[in-house]
Structure 1
Amino acid sequence: MDKERLASWLHEREFIYSLLACLYKASPATQLLKTLSANRLLTSLVEDYDSMATPEQFAVYSAVQQLQDELDLGLKNPADYQKLLQADFNRLFVGPGHLAAPPWESVYRSRERLIFGEQTLAVREFYRSFGLETKKRRSEPDDHISLELEFMACLCKQAAKPDISTEKLNLYMSGQTRFLSGHILEWAPALCDDIRKAAESNFFRGLALLTKQWLKADAADTEMIASDLIV
């Protein structure tokens, strides 16, 4: 892959990771919902799945189409639809009470299923190895799904800099493959399964299926490209 195509691929992934991070950080505001609807940002990620797709890919395609249909219809009464999504978001990720899909890596990867566990510290150290720290590290676990996705977006952005050295490019690309395999893919698929099972809206069901499938495909692509870059 030449430098221009690589940069374009990295910028596209930066945008997708940033978008997913935003959708898992907080229930989307009405303006974001309108942007998603008008530009079909989520359905564009699965537009190739309706023809020569595997059964798994077609299931994702169908779920995201249902997400889009619900979104378009919901925006006829945007205030009510935003409230519906906020309630679903709170029940899944925030509380009060039992969370149907706790958004922290340590909950999924520790026996005690507690936040601020061993994995939280491991993720924090991974961020620090690239000179990054979360702004609310004392009050918000570093291994929240939105923060891990933001970190991936940051690594993509750094790797896409036009004047980057080969050494730095390899560093940022290997960082992406290691963080995907050692952290995100170790728990995010299970999180997405829990969201899909518990969500009451097509929006979050579709988002969960899309996230799981896209992460799987992106990890394979990233590993292949990163291995080709190593000199």
Structure 2
Amino acid sequence: MTAINSREDLSVYLAARSYLYRFFQSLFGAEPTPEALGAYNAELTDACLEALSVDENVRGPFRRRLQTVARDAQNVAADLRSAYTVLFVGPGEPAGSPWESLHRGVERRLFTDVTLAVRRAFKAQGLTPQLGPGVADDALALELDFLAALALRAQSALSGGEGGGGLVPEDARAPLAASRQFLADHLNQWVDALRQCVVDADSTGFYADATGLLVDFCALDEQALARLTDEAA
């Protein structure tokens, strides 16, 4: 588990998780282009994962894969774009099924009570995603975008020097508590099922490795948040 015993530790943790939620959101939320792939920083991503205590045996293969992708972006983009389409776009139901409601309902369908619960969580934090036609609130990319926004709020509260004594500044507590609750109630309830779907259908291995990392990162983040929010209560 991530050790957070000082404001310096907290600053590293908040910066790392903020970067990682935005990284995973960009990876799962948009079709890969040579420009986007070439901009990935494998070393920074790995350092942030290490800061969250993700095991080297999980980080290492993805770090090496991301280094290769960034270095050879022009040549690998077409294969990754094809895999992304199969896994997350379709036609038909994407093999990765990147919506919470599909993995948690008795019937595999979109726009269920799960979707509405996610929408309420977004609204409670004043965050309303811009949805295209047929896009459900509980899409993976939107859930990651929500957590990235909350992570930035907490990071900004610390770097802005706002609020209160104790390890966690007062203004950082609400976004951290909301993140913990959302992970427990939503993303960590289905991301491992998503991972299995991606592993079974990914022709490149890139997205399979990425979802494996996402599972570990989200689980470790929830644990760290639980400790922080319980101590701040």
Q: Note whether the superposition's TM-score is higher than 0.5.
A: yes
Measure, in 2, the Cα distance between the counterparts of 1:57 and 1:197.
23
Aligned to 1:218: 221
Change (3 A) 1:158 1:164: farther
Letter paired with 2:19: F
Aligned to 1:197: 200
Residues 195 and 205, structure 1, Cα contact 8 Å, conserved in 2 = yes
Unaligned regions of 5+ residues in structure 1, if any? none
Which deviations, in whole Å up to 9, do the C-alpha atoms of 1:124-160 show, x marking residues without a partner?
A: 0001111111111764111111111111111111123
Give percent identity, aligned residues only: 25
Residues 63 and 205, structure 1, Cα contact 8 Å, conserved in 2 = no
With structure 2 as the length reference, what TM-score do the two structures score?
0.83
**Which of 124, 132, 141 does residue 129 from structure 1 map onto?**
124
Letter paired with 2:18: E
Letter paired with 1:63: P
State the shift of 1:59 in Å. Answer: 4.7
Unaligned regions of 5+ residues in structure 2, if any? none
Asked if residue 12 in structure 1 is aligned to residue 10 in structure 2, the reply is: no
State the shift of 1:229 in Å. Answer: 1.5
Aligned to 1:117: 112
Which deviations, in whole Å up to 9, do the C-alpha atoms of 1:85-104 show, x marking residues without a partner?
A: 11100101110134211111
Which deviations, in whole Å up to 9, do the C-alpha atoms of 1:190-216 show, x marking residues without a partner?
A: 101211221011211211111111111
- Give the superposed CA RMSD: 2.6
Change (3 A) 1:225 1:135: same
Residues 16 and 48, structure 2, Cα contact 8 Å, conserved in 1 = no
Measure, in 2, the Cα distance between the counterparts of 1:36 and 1:8.
20
Aligned residues: 221
Asked if residue 176 in structure 1 is aligned to residue 179 in structure 2, the reply is: yes
Measure, in 2, the Cα distance between the counterparts of 1:32 and 1:219.
28
Is the partner of 1:6 in helix, strand or coil?
helix
Q: How does 1:21-170 map to 2 (within 5 A)?
A: 21-36=25-40, 39-45=42-48, 57=55, 59-65=57-63, 67-68=65-66, 70-71=68-69, 74-75=72-73, 78=74, 80-136=75-131, 139-160=134-155, 161=157, 162=160, 163-164=162-163, 167-170=170-173
Is the partner of 2:212 in helix, strand or coil?
helix
With structure 1 as the length reference, what TM-score do the two structures score?
0.84
